[in-house]
Structure 1
């Protein structure tokens, strides 16, 4: 293992564990809280668990003798320079000099974890850890000095107190009152004013009998005792008034509480459960409807940012790779919270052996790779790549073993090809969208192999990626249709053209400029091509249009689509929106009257679009060491905002006459279309022709640029 790993680790002590183990176990706890009308509803893919026996060690050069406190989750022993202390000491003394500390921990119930704190000796992510030390002893009692042990650097998060046990982690809560309560005979209809998430609290509950809580994202759902998606049943036997908190957190706006004659209830409130992450990005403009869309997107994303990035708060509350991939991108423009990205990535991947696609979905395996590609671009965190490279390799080995004779991805038993919720979307044959995602995943593997210093593997993956891109266009491009066709069946192109592979090829930059313009007309702006009705794929459709400079069009689409939900009273954005539906039809999905999620992470995509394609800020080298700013008002009069980076926020104001910008890291390049040469303090505008100018932005300098927008 590279000993320079995590050179920026602080000297503060923190709880450490085998990387991914805490994340996997936490995901198991969270995802298996799902219930459907009171019935346990587990995930339907392979669940892994933690390694139960762990060996931690690190070599320290101690300047002077020091006392070291040891806290452990599990049974353990401690060795100093190979010699074991008696029992399981909570404190040891380490003399001056170079010493190796080993702590071996067994814990069947929870993740083996340690917290070590001395003056210079502390537990952090520079410790090495293994789940099998492969130590052997010969007939003389001598321990082997040759080992096949695979050591990796410890996992950690932000458990920085010895009393902050990883096994006891819970999200924080805060009290939240109802907006209104309608009392009936033995019932209460409680409205919390907007979509929310947490634990219902019953106040002044007494008597004897049955009580039921029916949850609803809409009033209609809460009032439907037979068809609401979630509920709680309570047996009441309280001579005196008591308060009761429901066991599981739920999603709702309304709750309908019904109880027997012998039961009394004073009032209902809630404990709002949330992830303690900080907003760093922002956006506002002259258009109040867009501001409202941005604010509701923020709230939607807040609700779906929990221990992990989840899909939706009412129904699944699971970690789906396709949903998570979009959440990562939104996160980079709002929170820039690396820890939640890493936790989610670990949880989705699980452990070897690989026995199926992530979430059982072929495209979701590819999104996992793409998420790592973007994580490195936005954060520059090489250490996470190195730590996960072996997991990436074994997952890619699984993928490549499932290609058909022609080296293409095709449905096999056990695979789910999802793509999108769309009527009669064919998954037969070799679907172009899957080949495109594989090509990008192979490019990710090549990038990460280089970071892991495996040059031969990098060459191999680059060769495979180039081959896939060649096949993509040789097999699926149709000159007559001026687009990639949807699939090939029995060696022949199908007639169907869909948006998916075509729009991804635009922002992946797989098309040349001529093809991009052809596809814009033949596919993206063609009403004869099957429309997209989920925010999930609208995300990518609008991104492709923005990448083509169609921000004016996209702004109108945003106001129509997301604004359409707001006009129907949405307080968070939905899993799916079809403007042709009426009334309670909007709540139905999956053959159930209230099956649709009215708060879905993929509905928050304006966070990403407005940050990347209107403010126009995006990294072009890992960790924003280099970045570009291509502001595009898209019909707005002015806009302003902040875009977070690893070192702070890039602040930006844009109108038709002026740009103000202050960067904090790296070297930025502003690209402006202007009728005349831009001028201003610290401004040196270089003409690139066709009224395009570039201005270099250095860290810590505020630039005020006067220009004339076209």
Structure 2
């Protein structure tokens, strides 16, 4: 099958190639298969991180594992990697595939004298620490937090004589193999990663004169792409579920990078169909609120009136349910009361956030009602909004609450910015960080937002990230080791030592779709692409370059791909050129 990752849209894609991380899909797979919407490629490891010995006694000729393999074994046993064991020691090897992947591994075992399977242990890891962890070893802090929740990442198996075995589906970059049988020599031709992904073109792109921002855009795009599996997941190792609230930044990123994709509707419908009212999606009231907001934002970008019309019965009943939980304008939502993990347990902050989210949901409902010409739903939302906006809850000095209150119009943009910008990226969050950036944009603080993106998301790149994480505490970067190295003595293990709530230590996900917000934000505010009418029929171009000298990129619409370029002139003014598809009106 021919790879179709690089869309033939414009010369720009020669710059914005599919995966910046080592060109994995362009150059580093040996063969490719496809099953319906999910494709499969085989990826050769990039380097050997660690061996159990360095004297060629237990591991020999290991570099053969870094060479290409066409998938076919032969009866020749020459030139194989040899893992050896005796009663004193077993061979082990740790491989690095260069970037985060979703899938499993294929082990190709060469011919050997004894015709029986060989038993090995496999450990997959998003970091070196996770791949090296021992779940039963409580002597090393954090190491026992690695789990097999949601996907197997630590397991044993038998590899056949002169044959291949394929196993595992998880998110990983590193693989450790341990030979478990005693007194054997185990010849191996190849240990390849099996990469599962949607073979879809990157229609959206972003390039500017700041390479760090370019990389952040690309990594955000790749992060959400990996989570576009059978459904739109939140994580590929853990949280391989449809979390409806977490979906909001993911859906925005999907629309920014790929345009319309069936995985979005499939996931939204899954949430609706598995949540009969009066239930809340995922048991969390705010997640049902986000479902309404997502549908407003999706229709604005895609303009599929028939699909929006399908949501009308459920959405109307859901809005009625939300309104029934408003008392004198104050939200009183039941079910799980949750914004994001950093604010979990802070009841006052959660109320402020939920009050703002209720207003944002009612505004989305009002927009949808207008598009559907549903006067009853429009009145319900309008009346509830009038009451809800009279409430003025405190932001409590919290960045999440301040951001939401500003976006809902319950806090002045300047007051929100003061809270969000305090101590820079301290107390930023991978999920709600996007809404903090949006609140800064509302206040015209574009350069400050650019700096926060560079500092916060960029710090993950500095620590070896190739996808963005479920959680990142900015202060923990100090004295932290990179995730692609064995942690030196005296260094902080950014994966094993941190975390809380459901992501303690190595259980934390290093590829979480909700962290892809900067990709959407950079396209929306640096390229200045704002959709004004449903189906992107009208788009405003209003770039905010800050200290940048130029920015260019593309944006997918249901009419085709919009191309824009902004260049700062000597007098500081910005010259904009663009090419819009037929059916899209551009104003600027």
TM-score of the pair, normalised by structure 2: 0.75
Once structures 1 and 2 are overlaid, which stretch shifts more, 316-325 or 391-400?
391-400
Q: Which has the higher contact order (CA 8 A, sep 6+)?
A: 2
Q: Does 1:217 align with 2:126?
A: yes
CA contact (8 A) 2:275 2:281 kept: no
Does the 8 Å contact 1:311/1:317 carry over to 2?
Answer: yes
Task: Give the distance between the partners of 1:270 and 1:235, measured in 2 at CA.
Answer: 16
Match of 2:565 in 1: 653
Matched, 1:359 2:264: no
1:233 aligns with 2:155: yes
Equivalent residue, structure 2, for 1:207: 116
Gaps of at least 5 residues in structure 2 are: 1-34, 52-58, 60-82, 84-89, 136-143, 481-491, 570-574
Equivalenced residue count is: 473
Within the candidate set 223, 241, 252, 1:329 is matched to 252
1:242 is aligned to 2:163: yes
2:99 to 148, 172, 194: 194
Partner of residue 383, structure 1: 306
User: Partner of 1:268 in structure 2?
Assistant: 191
The structural deviation recorded for 1:368 is 0.6
- Corresponding residue number in structure 1 for 2:382: 462
Instruction: Give distance in 2, aligned partners of 1:539 and 1:358.
Output: 22
Structure with more of its chain in strand, by fraction: 1
Aligned partner of residue 207 in structure 1, secondary structure: coil
Tell me the CA shift for residue 216 of structure 1: 0.7
Please, which runs of 5 or more residues in structure 1 have no aligned partner?
1-167, 477-484, 487-495, 671-710
Secondary structure, aligned partner of 1:654: strand
Counterparts in 2 of 1:330 and 1:659: CA distance versus 1, 3 Å: same
Q: 1:662 to 1:324 in 2, by over 3 A?
A: same
1:453 CA drift (Å): 4.1
Q: CA deviation at 1:281?
A: 0.7
**Alignment partner of 2:134: what SS?**
coil
Instruction: Report if the CA contact (8 A) 1:336-1:644 is conserved.
Output: yes
Higher helix share: 2
Distance 1:218 1:172 in 2: 25
* Match for residue 503 of structure 1 among 363, 384, 403: 403
Q: How does 1:420-569 map to 2 (within 5 A)?
A: 420-422=340-342, 425-427=345-347, 431-470=351-390, 472-473=391-392, 476=393, 485-486=394-395, 496-508=396-408, 510=409, 515-521=412-418, 523-527=419-423, 531-569=426-464
Q: Residue 666 of structure 1 aligns with which residue?
A: 584
Partner of 1:104: none
The residue number in structure 2 matching 1:305 is 228
User: What is the CA distance between 1:214 and its match in structure 2?
Assistant: 0.9
Question: 2:427·2:474 contact (CA, 8 Å) conserved in 1?
Answer: no
**CA gap 1:501/1:212 in 2 versus in 1, 3 angstroms:** same
Q: Taking structure 1 as reference, are residues 302 and 338 closer, same or farther at Cα in structure 2, changes over 3 Å only?
A: closer
Report the RMSD for the aligned CA atoms in angstroms: 2.5
- Which residue does 2:544 correspond to in 1? 632
Instruction: State the Cα distance separating 1:355 from its structure 2 match.
Output: 4.7
Structure 1 match to 2:86: none
Q: Partner of 2:43 in structure 1?
A: 176
The alpha-carbon deviation at position 428 of structure 1 amounts to 5.3
Equivalent residues of 2:41, 2:196 under 8 A apart = yes
1:416 to 1:666, Cα distance in 2 relative to 1, 3 A? same
CA distance in 1, matches of 2:157, 2:450: 52
Which range moved further: 366-375 or 268-277?
268-277
Aligned residue for 1:536, secondary structure, equals: coil
Q: In structure 2, do the counterparts of structure 1 residues 326 and 423 end up closer, same or farther at CA, with 3 Å as the change threshold?
A: closer
Matched, 1:416 2:353: no
Deviation at 1:447, TM superposition (A): 3.1
Query: In the superposition, relative to structure 1, how do residues 224 and 434 fare at CA in structure 2: closer, same or farther (>3 Å)?
Result: same
Residue by residue over 1:49-108, the C-alpha shift from the partner in whole angstroms, topping out at 9 and shown as x without a partner, is xxxxxxxxxxxxxxxxxxxxxxxxxxxxxxxxxxxxxxxxxxxxxxxxxxxxxxxxxxxx
What TM-score does the superposition give when structure 1 sets the normalisation length? 0.63
Q: Is the 8 A contact 1:210 1:233 kept in 2?
A: no
SS at match of 1:322: coil
Structure-2 change in CA distance of 1:457 and 1:225 (3 Å): same
Q: Tell me by how many angstroms 1:351 deviates.
A: 4.4
SS in 1 for 2:330: coil
User: Given the alignment, which residue of 240, 243, 268 partners 1:320?
Assistant: 243
SS in 1 for 2:473: coil
Query: Aligned partners of 1:407 and 1:633: how far apart in 2?
Result: 40
Q: Give the Cα–Cα distance (whole angstroms) in 2 for the partners of residues 610 and 428 of structure 1.
A: 32
CA distance in 1 between counterparts of 2:545 and 2:349 reads 42
Change in Cα spacing, 1:322 to 1:456, as seen in structure 2 (3 Å) is closer
Seen in structure 2, the aligned counterparts of structure 1 residues 465 and 431 have a Cα distance that, compared at 3 Å, is same
How far did 1:516 drift? 2.3
Q: Post-superposition shift, 1:617?
A: 0.6
Q: Say which SS state the counterpart of residue 594 (structure 1) adopts.
A: helix
| C-alpha distance in 2 between matches for 1:405 and 1:307 | 40
Mark the structure with the bigger radius of gyration.
1
Q: Decide whether aligned partners of structure 1 residues 211 and 351 sit closer, same or farther in structure 2, where only a CA change above 3 A counts.
A: same
